[in-house]
A and B are shown apart, each in its own frame.
Chain A
Amino acid sequence: DTAVSQTPKYLVTQMGNDKSIKCEQNLGHDTMYWYKQDSKKFLKIMFSYNNKELIINETVPNRFSPKSPDKAHLNLHINSLELGDSAVYFCASSHRLAGGRLAKNIQYFGAGTRLSVL
């Protein structure tokens, strides 16, 4: 079973359309993320979300919105797609542990969704 799965793997669409990318994790994690990797291969955090808070990177346009129906899913909705939205989008998840020397904030990534806006 894939730990963090994203669908679709490839998405080709026209400018102005609205699209969604789905993400599911079966790791029992409580925090999920969306990252964007542009054509120059820079990876940037877009959102991080758990059941208590949504942290938004201030550079993300409000055309992008995360939606979480439950702890195992964090979908990314994009309205009015623009050419500059073409990129690879990665979903990730992590589990926050309290105290001790245990691993914290280790993130597990999906395989990515390659979005092309024409």
Chain B
Amino acid sequence: DAKTTQPTSMDCAEGRAANLPCNHSTISGNEYVYWYRQIHSQGPQYIIHGLKNNETNEMASLIITEDRKSSTLILPHATLRDTAVYYCIAMYSGGGADGLTFGKGTHLIIQP
């Protein structure tokens, strides 16, 4: 799996868009970018993933640069419940029984 780099922590005001960056400059052509989050004392939760096109679902949007060396997770209207550690993971999604390799993630704090 390609190494990813994320800021250690970020703050965002409630109701604003939270933009979480991730660098994955060594990502290979068949590796997807996955985002998970872990709210305090809970299990990790899948948010979104993508290969090279931008993706959107009910939770977030994922913007991947054209060269695929970085991406941004966007929470469009952050709420206090979005306070969590967010993990960006680059990995091949070939259907194998691969465990996720979690880094340190970004601790996002939503301020009231």
A-B interface pairs (CB < 8 A), number: 65
Check B29 for interface membership: any CB of A closer than 8 A.
Answer: no
Query: Which B residues touch A64, using CB under 8 A?
Result: none
Q: In the complex the two chains form, is B102's CB within 8 Å of A43's CB? A: yes
Q: Which residues of B contact A98 (CB under 8 A)?
A: 95
Contact B100 A45 (CB under 8 A): yes
The answer to whether A41 touches B85 (Cβ under 8 A) is yes
List residues of B (39-87) whose CB comes within 8 Å of A's CBs: 41-46, 49, 85
In the complex, chain A residues 29-84 whose Cβ is within 8 Å of any chain B Cβ: 31, 33, 35, 41-50, 53, 55, 57
Query: Are A49 and B99 CB-contacts (below 8 A) given A108-B46, A112-B43?
Result: no
Number of chain A residues whose Cβ lies closer than 8 Å to a Cβ of chain B:
32
User: What residue in chain A is nearest B99 (Cβ atoms)?
Assistant: A45
Is the pair B97, A55 in contact by a Cβ cutoff of 8 Å?
yes
Across-interface contacts of A31 in B (CB, < 8 A): 97
- Choose one: A43, A48, A109, A110; the contact of B98 (CB below 8 Å): A48
A97–B94 alpha-carbon span in the complex (Å): 9
Q: With A43-B102, A44-B102 in contact, is A110–B97 under 8 Å at CB?
A: no
How far is it, in angstroms, between the C-alpha of A97 and the C-alpha of B96 when the chains are bound? 9
Residues of B within 8 Å of A14, CB to CB, are none
Q: Is B111 an interface residue (CB 8 A)?
A: no
A36 to B104, CA, bound (A): 14
Can you add 7 more A-B contacts, CB < 8 Å, to A31-B97, A57-B99?
A: A43-B38, A43-B102, A53-B97, A104-B95, A105-B93, A109-B43, A111-B43
- What residues make up the interface of A, taking CB atoms closer than 8 Å to B? 4, 31, 33, 35, 41-50, 53, 55, 57, 90, 92, 96-98, 103-112
16 A-B residue pairings within 8 Å (CB atoms): A33-B99, A35-B99, A42-B102, A43-B100, A43-B102, A47-B99, A48-B97, A48-B98, A57-B99, A92-B43, A96-B96, A97-B95, A105-B98, A106-B49, A111-B42, A112-B42
